[in-house]
Amino acid sequence: MTLAETLAQNLRNLAQRTGLSRASSYRLFDVALKQRTVLGPSLARFVFTGPDVARMNTLAPDQRIKLLFPAPDGSPPRLPHEGDWHKSLRALEPSHRPPMRTYTIRALRGEALEVDVDFVLHGESGPASAWVTHARPGDRLQMVAPDARYPADPGGYEWRPPRGVRQILLIGDETALPAIAGILEALAERPCGQRVEAFIEVPHEEDCLPLRTPPGTRLHWFARDTLELGHGEGMARAARELATLPSWGEREKSLQPLENVDIEKQLPWELAKPTDNAFYAWVAGESAAIMAIRSHWVGELGLDRRALSFMGYWRLGRALE
């Protein structure tokens, strides 16, 4: 049983003992910024706190949450805690509707009422980035996150390697860095001798953070400014030239063309469904880069797509939720 499955089972057992089987998988949390730490020229860690953070849950290092930012008219998010939060959000007039963006829980310390979220700093290109640029301790938001009382697996994460996996490949850009860092830390806490490779593309050399990794990990950074790379070019180089891929004897040549995904309208999202423990790849970042890697690995090389997870976290030049 994986760690996520064990936690989910513990939650089910708790629900049976306490009668909380009707709890929702996700709920609204009122949070305030407690501390802001600059990690690099493009990265900052925000520590949020709130009286109900003790009821927050996370089951994987790439656990997704949503943050609700001040509305276009400047009003802070105040969605009601009762009922369907998403329905309440959509019912608001556009000028009063808080923008919503997806992030990753970097760390959760429920007893201390603290949850860490790492942000990419890229000016004031949108309502979320503008808030992040100017936020100071005490500023308040609303967060949608898993409810610890929920008796089953709430989902919202993609890190699901097969038991006893022998080779792990991680590729991502700065938006995937919090998840990759968490994955590497989780692997370091329970090393099982697997071969681990991680390739991370970031804007600046100073964004290459010290990460805790399992023994023997091959960690490679691509700083776009130093290497004079465009968005996604470091990830492409990793996928095409540097990553150790399964041998031809372990590949299954696809007989069908890949499904088309309109990345101008939706984020590509394709999850692995491993049938063995030989190889597992987790790839996330800018959508066009993700689709290029998917096309090369599956369409050109014939890698078994059941061992591959592709997640488009964002699209260059667009705000997609």
What pLDDT, in 10s, does the model give residues 222-281?
Answer: 999 999 999 999 999 999 999 999 975 555 554 456 888 888 889 999 999 999 999 999
Report angle CA 167, 171, 177 to the nearest 5 degrees: 120
CATH number (domain holding residue 137) = 2.40.30.10
Quote the pLDDT of residue 124: 84
Instruction: For residues 301 and 250, state if they share a domain.
Output: yes
Q: Return left, alpha or beta for 302; rule: phi > 0 is left, psi -120 to 50 is alpha, else beta.
A: left
Instruction: For residues 65 and 28, state if they share a domain.
Output: yes
**Boundary-marking domain end, from 84, 111, 146:** 146
Instruction: For residues 258 and 305, state if they share a domain.
Output: yes
What pLDDT, in 10s, does the model give residues 72-107?
Answer: 998 999 999 988 999 999 999 999 999 999 999 999
User: What predicted TM-score, i.e. pTM, was given to this entire model?
Assistant: 0.90
Q: Mean pLDDT over all residues of the chain?
A: 90
Q: What is the 3-state secondary structure of the chain?
A: CCHHHHHHHHHHHHHHHHCCCCCCCEEEEEEEEEEEEEEECCEEEEEEECCCHHHECCCCCCCEEEEECCCCCCCCCCCCCCCCHHHHHHHCCHHHCCCEEEEEEEEEEHHHCEEEEEEECCCCCCHHHHHHHHCCCCCEEEEEEEECCCCCCCCCCCCCCCCCCCEEEEEECCCCHHHHHHHHHHHHHCCCCCEEEEEEEECCHHHCCCCCCCCCCEEEEEEHHHHCCCCCHHHHHHHHHHCCCCCHHHCCCCCCCCCCCCCCCCCCEECCCCCCCCCEEEEEEEHHHHHHHHHHHHHHCCCCHHHEEEEEEEECCECCC
Instruction: For residues 47 and 142, state if they share a domain.
Output: yes
Quote the pLDDT of residue 258: 82
Q: Domain tally for the chain?
A: 2
Quote the pLDDT of residue 118: 98
Q: By residue range, what is the domain housing residue 122?
A: 24-146
Evaluate if residue 192 carries a pLDDT over 90: no
Instruction: For residues 69 and 188, state if they share a domain.
Output: no
Q: What is the mean pLDDT of residues 213-229?
A: 97
Domain-embedded: residue 9 = no
Instruction: For residues 171 and 310, state if they share a domain.
Output: yes
**Boundary-marking domain end, from 146, 179, 207:** 146
Q: How many residues does the chain have?
A: 321
**Boundary-marking domain end, from 146, 176, 198:** 146
Quote the pLDDT of residue 125: 80
For residue 15, what pLDDT band results from cuts at 50, 70 and 90? Answer: very low
Domain-embedded: residue 294 = yes
Instruction: For residues 40 and 83, state if they share a domain.
Output: yes
Quote the pLDDT of residue 122: 85
Instruction: For residues 306 and 190, state if they share a domain.
Output: yes
Report angle CA 173, 174, 180 to the nearest 5 degrees: 75
- Environment class of 2 (CB within 10 Å of its CB; exposed 0-12, middle 13-18, buried 19+): middle
The percentage of the chain sitting over the pLDDT mark of 70, rounded to a whole number, equals 89
Nearest partner of 252 among 299, 197, 196, judged by Cα: 299
For residue 16, what pLDDT band results from cuts at 50, 70 and 90? Answer: very low
Quote the pLDDT of residue 318: 74
Report in angstroms the alpha-carbon separations of 208 from 128, 137, 200, 301. 23, 26, 9, 30
The percentage of the chain sitting over the pLDDT mark of 90, rounded to a whole number, equals 78
Domain-embedded: residue 189 = yes
Domain-embedded: residue 188 = yes
Instruction: For residues 280 and 179, state if they share a domain.
Output: yes
Instruction: For residues 306 and 172, state if they share a domain.
Output: yes
Q: What is the mean pLDDT of residues 273-296?
A: 96
Domain-embedded: residue 95 = yes
Quote the pLDDT of residue 112: 98
